[in-house]
Each structure stands twice: as C-alpha cells, then as structure tokens.
Amino acid sequence: MLQVRSISRSFHGNKVLNDLSFEAKAGRITGFVGANGSGKTTTMRIILGVLAANEGTVTWQGGPITQQVRQRFGYMPEERGLYPKMKVAEQIVYLGRLHGLDQATAQRNTTALLDRLELAGRADDPVERLSLGNQQRVQICAALVHDPDLLILDEPFSGLDPLAIETVLSVLRAQAARGVPVLFSSHQLELVERLCDDLVIISGGSTAASGDRKTLQTRFATPRFELVVDGDAGWVRDVAGVEVVELDGARVVFDVAEGEQAQSVLQAAIHRGPVRTFGAVVPSLAEIFREVI
C-alpha cells in the first residue's frame, strides 16, 4: 500500500501542496482528480522521488521509498517522454533493464506488451514515426514493462481515441487484478467513474475527499429520486415534505427530507396510473467534484 501522509510543497513561496494525505491500496484502482493546478502532478512527482516534499512522508508497505523500492514503480508522466529516434521495442527493453530486468525478461515482457497494446507491427520503427496515439501506447508499455509493484499514471487517457481508451482500461484493470495499486489522474470524470474503485479529490493542494468511490457517492447523495409517469407529474410539487428539483412533463426529480416520504410519492403515483421509472438518483462524480471543490 502506498501512503501519502501530510505532504506539503512550495515553489518560490507559493504553497502548491498543503497537508495532503491519501492512500492507494493493493489491487485497487485509485482515481486522482482535481482542477488544473490543484497539485496532482506535483504529488505524483513527489511519490516518484522526482521532487522532494517540504514536509510529510510517503511510504510504501510501511517503509521509506528508497531508490531500490522506487525502481519497482511504474510511472507515466504527464509530459510524455521517449527517445524520438530510438526504436520502439529497443526503447522499452532499455527502460525495462533500467528498472532492473535482465535482457531476456525485458525482451519477453516487451514483446508481450507490444502485442497486448497492438503495436507488434511497429516494434522496429523509431518512436518519432508513430502517431501521437501510438506514442502514448508505447509510453504505457514503458510504465508496465517491468511488472511494477505500483503504477502511477498522470493523465493516461489524454490524447487517446475511444478504442485505445478501452485497450488501456483493460490493461489497467489487469494490473489491479494482479494486486498492484494503480493511481491515475484524469480530467475525464466519466472515465474515472467507470474505472476507479477508490477516489481522491484534491483541491487547492489538500484532500477534499477520499475513499471508496461508491461510499463517497452515497455519502454525497442527498435523498434524491426520479419518477416518470404517463401523465403530468406536476402534482408532486404539492406533496408535503418534498422539494421538486426538476420537472419536465411526465418526469420529475425531487428531494425528500426522509426516505419514507419517497415511498408515499411512489404510492400516490401508482394510485394515479402507470409508473414507468422510479429510483434513487446517485450523484455523478462530476456533481461530487463540483460540490467539494
């Protein structure tokens, strides 16, 4: 497990991270979301030892992160970087070896990854000849080649087409299934919602919310319901203890002070005629995001 404890970091007197804490658990995919400039990249760089924290600690399996430990991490930085003139496979093998693999294992892993990410045909092309989307896939290979103990990806989906997104999603899920903690940042909240088990929302350099995604969604959920009937649903406005949020002919979204009141609304609706839809409304990540930031 990766634990980030109360880290702070300033740049030229400007505090970018302020007492930030969260964790990334084994076998779980943790989504790291926040507005631009909220400190996501700085946090990831501190975990990778590229930057130092002014205060606070980052630990892996309860111990300090030494060079040896860090070498087993997989990292995909936001600013992508590869040697443009080096061949795809050669480059991934090289990075695998820097991560401590022997030549044979690095070769084997590279071949398997290139296959998995549908790049096998480009193995001997220099990276600069690949499209940006394909370069991105190579970058993912570079982060995965050594079967990392922890995977940290800064905006792994930016610049990918929908097909590539699906491929990367499945690769990340496979990594988590292996028991690896996967921490990734993204602006694409619907992707985060689909992919992550846990969520860390960062705002102004501090943790605004963190924990299991479903628990967070429930916690942030007001008791809100949606009802669709055949006729006009305007009568819901007159039910005591109910506040209508949205009304559009036959569809109404409403908040109740207590869950039981929703049942009264449902009974009243059935009494009036057919009910097409009735259910609790779970807030989307975007809504939680707006609420906590």
Smallest separation, CB 277 to other proteins (Å): 49
Give the residues lining the site for other proteins (CB under 8 A). 45, 48-52, 67, 70-71, 73, 75, 77, 79-86, 94-95, 97-100, 142
| DSSP-assigned beta bridge partners for residue 259 | none
If the CB atoms of residues 147 and 212 are measured against other proteins, the closer one turns out to be 147
If the CB atoms of residues 5 and 70 are measured against other proteins, the closer one turns out to be 70
Helices (H), the chain: 40-47, 67-70, 88-98, 103-116, 132-144, 162-177, 189-195, 213-220, 259-272, 285-292
For residue 165 the two structure tokens come to 């997104």
For residue 254 the two structure tokens come to 């409403």
If the CB atoms of residues 79 and 248 are measured against other proteins, the closer one turns out to be 79
If the CB atoms of residues 113 and 256 are measured against other proteins, the closer one turns out to be 113
Smallest separation, CB 51 to other proteins (Å): 6
Smallest separation, CB 97 to other proteins (Å): 5
Smallest separation, CB 139 to other proteins (Å): 9
Smallest separation, CB 204 to other proteins (Å): 21
If the CB atoms of residues 98 and 280 are measured against other proteins, the closer one turns out to be 98
Q: Buried (b) or exposed (e) across 99-114, using 16+ Cβ within 10 A?
A: bebeeebbbebbeebb
The residue type found at 94 is Y
Q: How many CB atoms lie within 10 A of CB 9?
A: 22
Q: Buried (b) or exposed (e) across 81-92, using 16+ Cβ within 10 A?
A: ebeeeebbbebb
Smallest separation, CB 128 to other proteins (Å): 10
If the CB atoms of residues 72 and 108 are measured against other proteins, the closer one turns out to be 72
How many helices (H) and strands (E) in the chain?
A: 10, 14
